[in-house]
């Protein structure tokens, strides 16, 4: 009789465990945006970063660090403290990219904070975890300005990202005002100014009456 009761209890526990797993899986499928056939994922706005994450105080202070124009040297992208998992990370894991998943989550969260964003994930080949994982983002700030960002990740956890935006102010004026705390390294050839923001390098390229601001960081 005791053996029969134990068998019934064990069966009930097993059913409850299976039911819990199915519910969790269902919630995950609903919450994670699907990758469309064209490789694009639409992301919703994410919460603001914690104070110890990369932030820059300037005229676009509501935007994520990589796309903003700093009033002081820009620090390296920090270790992510936001416990949530980016939809980009979820997609990477589903594609078999595991070795650099934590770095993907760190940089993707960093780039998309306080923006409405979409991302294109470049197709991965067989043995995806042994190859480059590359993404391109469109980031929309609350003021409706648009930023292009690119981030690529390597199996050894290294990553590199760039952000590109147009500012309707000349290069010299930007260098003297918004980027006044950054050191000029020099001019690449004739027109593009390179400024040193520490781990982040800032490039100012003339574009009509304004400037294309490019920021780049190698995260290791």
Task: Say which residue, 11 or 168, is predicted with more confidence.
Answer: 168
Q: Which residues, other chains included, contact 40 with Cβ-Cβ below 8 Å and sequence gap of 6+?
A: 118, 119, 120, 121
Q: Is 187 helix (H, G, I), strand (E, B) or coil?
A: strand
CA 69, 72, 77, 79 torsion-angle sign: negative
Q: What is the pLDDT of residue 10?
A: 53
Q: What percent of the chain has pLDDT over 70?
A: 64
Note the pLDDT tens digit of each residue in 108-118.
999 999 999 99
Residue 179 confidence (pLDDT) above 60: yes
Q: Beta strands 183-187 and 193-197: pairing type?
A: antiparallel
| Every domain of the chain and the residues it spans | 1-31, 32-219
The Cα–Cα gap between 34 and 119 comes to 12
Q: What is the pLDDT of residue 53?
A: 32
Beta strands (DSSP E) in 97-158 are: 116-121, 133-140, 146-153
pLDDT tens-digit map of 5-40: 555 555 555 444 434 433 433 434 333 455 566 667
pLDDT at 163 over 50: yes
pLDDT of 46 strictly over 70: no
Asked whether residue 80 carries a pLDDT value surpassing 80, the answer given is no
Specify the pTM: 0.68
pLDDT per residue as tens digits for the range 84-137: 899 999 999 999 999 999 999 999 999 999 999 999 999 988 899 999 999 999
């Amino acid at each position: 009789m005791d053996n029969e009761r134990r068998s019934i209890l064990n069966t009930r526990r097993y059913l409850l465990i299976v039911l819990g797993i199915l519910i969790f899986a269902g919630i995950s499928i609903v919450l994670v945006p699907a990758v469309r056939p064209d490789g694009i994922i639409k992301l919703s706005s994410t919460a603001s970063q914690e104070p110890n994450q990369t932030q820059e105080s300037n005229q676009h202070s509501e935007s994520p660090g990589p796309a903003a124009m700093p009033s002081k040297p820009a620090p390296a992208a920090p270790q992510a403290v936001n416990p949530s998992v980016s939809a980009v990370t979820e997609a990477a894991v589903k594609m078999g990219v595991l070795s650099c998943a934590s770095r993907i989550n760190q940089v993707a969260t960093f780039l998309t904070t306080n923006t409405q964003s979409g991302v294109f994930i470049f197709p991965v080949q067989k043995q995806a975890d042994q190859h480059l994982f590359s993404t391109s983002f469109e980031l929309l700030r609350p003021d409706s300005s648009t930023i292009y960002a690119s981030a690529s990740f390597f199996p050894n956890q290294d990553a590199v990202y760039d952000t590109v935006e147009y500012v309707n102010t000349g290069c010299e004026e930007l260098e003297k005002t918004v980027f006044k705390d950054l050191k000029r390294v020099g001019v690449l050839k004739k027109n593009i100014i390179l400024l040193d923001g520490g781990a982040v390098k800032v490039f100012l390229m003339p574009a009509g009456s304004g400037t294309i601001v490019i920021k780049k960081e190698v995260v290791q």
